[in-house]
Amino acid sequence: MSPTKLDVRGEICPYPMMRTVSALKKLTGDEQALEVVTDHAPALETIPTQAARLGFRTDIEESGASEWRITITRTEVEEGA
Amino acid sequence: MAVEVRRSAVIGPRSDRANRNTTLALIAWAMAVVVYVVAHAADTEFSMFWVFGLAFGFVLQRGRFCFASAFRDIFLLGHARTMKGLLLGLAVGAVGFGLVMGRQVPMTSLGIYPPSANVLPLGIHTVLGGLLFGIGMVVAGGCVSGSIYRMGEGYVASWVAFAGVMGGLLVSAYTWNWWWEAHISRTQRFWLPHWIGHSGALVVTLLALAAVYVWVVSIEHRAGMVIPPVQPAHTQPESVADDLRSGARRLFVQGWPVLPAGAVLGALNVLLFTAKEPWGFTGEVSRWSIGAASVVNIAPGPLAGLESLPGCVLVPSDGRFFNHMLFLVAGMFFGSFAAAVGAGEFKIRVPKRPVRYAQSLGGGVIMGYGSGIGMGCTIGAFFSAIPSFALNGWVFGGFLALGAWIGTHIIRRID
């Protein structure tokens, strides 16, 4: 299944991170990944942290001039966690 | 929990882009040199403030040193990344300012104030100014310095916020005489060395900064994990040229870690204070908006009490266009622009949602009004005031934090 996409280019601080978080919270159980496109460099630090707190891992790819594609994937829930 | 952050890059177009960025950055810096030479011929103070402005703008952009996020992210995310850098910058500033003020006022028992340090009247205007500024900077997505460096990065919303700041400063100028008569003229300035001497003031300031540091670290721990920024893989340089190139990359392309950025900003502030006065610019921005208002004959009349006040108080238009402070603000903008171009981070960013323009403008106006009555922004009334051993800096900072907390609640409700 292709990941759900979220385009937050042009957004002001801190909405790239906030809108990513609310999109992650809306992912249903069978959706495993969210793909975010952003041009806001500070979000490259805030999104991985917030994603990790929600149980996701992040993969950042520079996709253009001052533009990044962030793939956020659900991590397996660890035993006893 | 296993946490993984990977970074990869598309290799081909990236190296072409890097070369183009270097060329564009060199052109930008060459233009900065031309401005320096022309300004130097007109007035050496112009060129000196231009260089300071460039340096501040460069470091703000490289460190992504956003004062609004320093306060906001404590409440929004439980992060204190930028706040830690800010505290270090204040500590560096305090040591340096302490040395300068010790020379300016050797005898603290005489009740004299250092002439150019940002020791400001403390009162309700400080409280309300800090509170409004804190709310406005979070709603607008950046304070005044943050908006200036993001204007250089190509954020259209920051231009809107800056226009709002100019408007808010003008509104504060219309109400200034009321504030002065009703309150500010009756308030006092509080300078710590008058009570506990220079060394006592330095020790108390550093201890208080350390206490804030402990507080924000405890907030981080309560909020849970924080992922450190991912650094590109480190490889052993093969030659001297390689080594120099990777050093230049760390300086000009990769974002700076926040602690060196904060320390350098603090040190630049000390240098500027040594040369003339502490860092601050909302007074200058008010000169622009009052000047623009006077062109269309809606400028406020004479403003009371300004000559007795240091720092970033409102500056009535003097009919001239250039002064040294204009070069400081323009330099901050241009230094950030050149830094962003060199790092490949310049891009015209246009918000798609109309509400962003409204909140940038509205937040800007609130900030502008707050800095008008508070006599400064996160820089003049805070980053330059705490190192001045001025009590108003701590009060303004405390209410900046409260305002940022309120602002955080507001932006959560604006989608």
B250: buried, middle or exposed (CB in 10 Å: 19+, 13-18, 0-12)?
middle
Question: B148-187 burial string, b = 16+ CB within 10 Å, else e?
Answer: bbbbbbbbbbbebbbbbbbbbbbbbbbebeebbeeebeee
Q: Do B1 and A75 touch (CB under 8 A)?
A: yes
Question: pLDDT digits over B47-59, tens only?
Answer: 999 999 999 999 9
Distance of CA B240 to the CA centre of its chain: 37
Angle at B258 between CA B255 and CA B261, to 5 degrees: 85
Nearest residue of B to residue A52, measured between CA atoms: B3
* Helices B81-104 and B67-76, packing angle to 10 deg: 130
**Is B182's pLDDT higher than 90?**
yes
Phi/psi at A3 (nearest 5 deg)? Answer: -70, 150
In this prediction, residue B231 carries a pLDDT of 61
In this prediction, residue B415 carries a pLDDT of 83
Question: pLDDT digits over A4-57, tens only?
Answer: 999 999 999 999 999 999 999 998 878 889 999 999 999 998 999 999 999 999
Cis peptide before B354 (omega within 30 of 0): no
Where helices occur in B278-323 by DSSP H, the ranges are 282-295
In this prediction, residue B277 carries a pLDDT of 95
Do the Cβ atoms of B362 and B83 come closer than 8 Å?
no
Q: Is B287 on the interface with A (CB under 8 A)?
A: no
Tell me the mean pLDDT in the region B37-48.
97
Measured torsion, CA atoms of residues B358, B360, B364, B367, in degrees rounded to the nearest 10: 110
Tell me the mean pLDDT in the region B160-184.
98
Question: pLDDT digits over A56-78, tens only?
Answer: 999 999 888 889 999 999 986 54
B4 to chain A: which residues are within 8 Å by CB?
57-58, 75
Question: pLDDT digits over B319-362, tens only?
Answer: 889 999 999 999 999 999 999 999 999 999 999 999 999 999 99
State the complex-level ipTM: 0.91
| Cα diameter, chain B | 69
Closest CA to A58 of B256, B415, B68, B225: B225
Nearest residue of A to residue B227, measured between CA atoms: A49
Question: B1-14 burial string, b = 16+ CB within 10 Å, else e?
Answer: eebebebeeeeeee
* Spatial distance between the Cα atoms of B221 and B13, rounded to a whole number of angstroms: 41
In this prediction, residue B202 carries a pLDDT of 98
Report the SS3 class of residue B386. coil
Q: Which of B347, B352, B411, B415 to mutate to test the interface with A (most CBs of A within 10 A)?
A: B347
**Is A79's pLDDT higher than 50?**
no
* CB atoms inside a 10 Å sphere around CB B107: 8
**Is A1's pLDDT higher than 70?**
no
Selecting among A7, A13, A14, A31, the annotated active-site residue is A13
- Which parts of B177-304 are beta strand (E)? 188-189
Give the helix/strand (H/E) hosting B281.
none
Nearest residue of A to residue B82, measured between CA atoms: A42
Closest CA to B386 of B72, B119, B114, B115: B119
Tell me the mean pLDDT in the region B374-397.
98
Tell me the mean pLDDT in the region B158-172.
98
* CB atoms inside a 10 Å sphere around CB B136: 32
**Whole-prediction pTM value?**
0.94
Percent of chain B residues past pLDDT 90, beyond the cut: 83
**Is B82's pLDDT higher than 50?**
yes
* Spatial distance between the Cα atoms of B115 and B122, rounded to a whole number of angstroms: 17
**Is B235's pLDDT higher than 80?**
no
Q: Do A60 and B346 touch (CB under 8 A)?
A: no
In this prediction, residue B254 carries a pLDDT of 86
**Do strands A33-38 and B121-122 pair parallel, antiparallel, or not at all (unpaired)?**
unpaired
* Spatial distance between the Cα atoms of B389 and B94, rounded to a whole number of angstroms: 7
Sole residue written with tokens 């500056």: B315
Q: Do A60 and B142 touch (CB under 8 A)?
A: no
Q: Do B346 and A42 touch (CB under 8 A)?
A: no
Percent of chain B residues past pLDDT 70, beyond the cut: 94
**Is B276's pLDDT higher than 60?**
yes
Q: Of chain A residues 20-79, which have a CB less than 8 A from chain B?
A: 39-42, 44-46, 48-50, 52-53, 55, 57-63, 65-67, 75, 78
* Spatial distance between the Cα atoms of B272 and B137, rounded to a whole number of angstroms: 25
In this prediction, residue A78 carries a pLDDT of 47
First to last CA, chain B: 31
- The mean pLDDT value of chain B amounts to 93
A13 annotated active-site:
yes
In this prediction, residue B1 carries a pLDDT of 47
Nearest residue of A to residue B408, measured between CA atoms: A14
Tell me the two tokens of residue B65. Answer: 């040193």
From the list B72, B225, B347, the residue facing A52 with the nearest CB is B225
Q: Do A42 and B69 touch (CB under 8 A)?
A: yes
In this prediction, residue B414 carries a pLDDT of 94
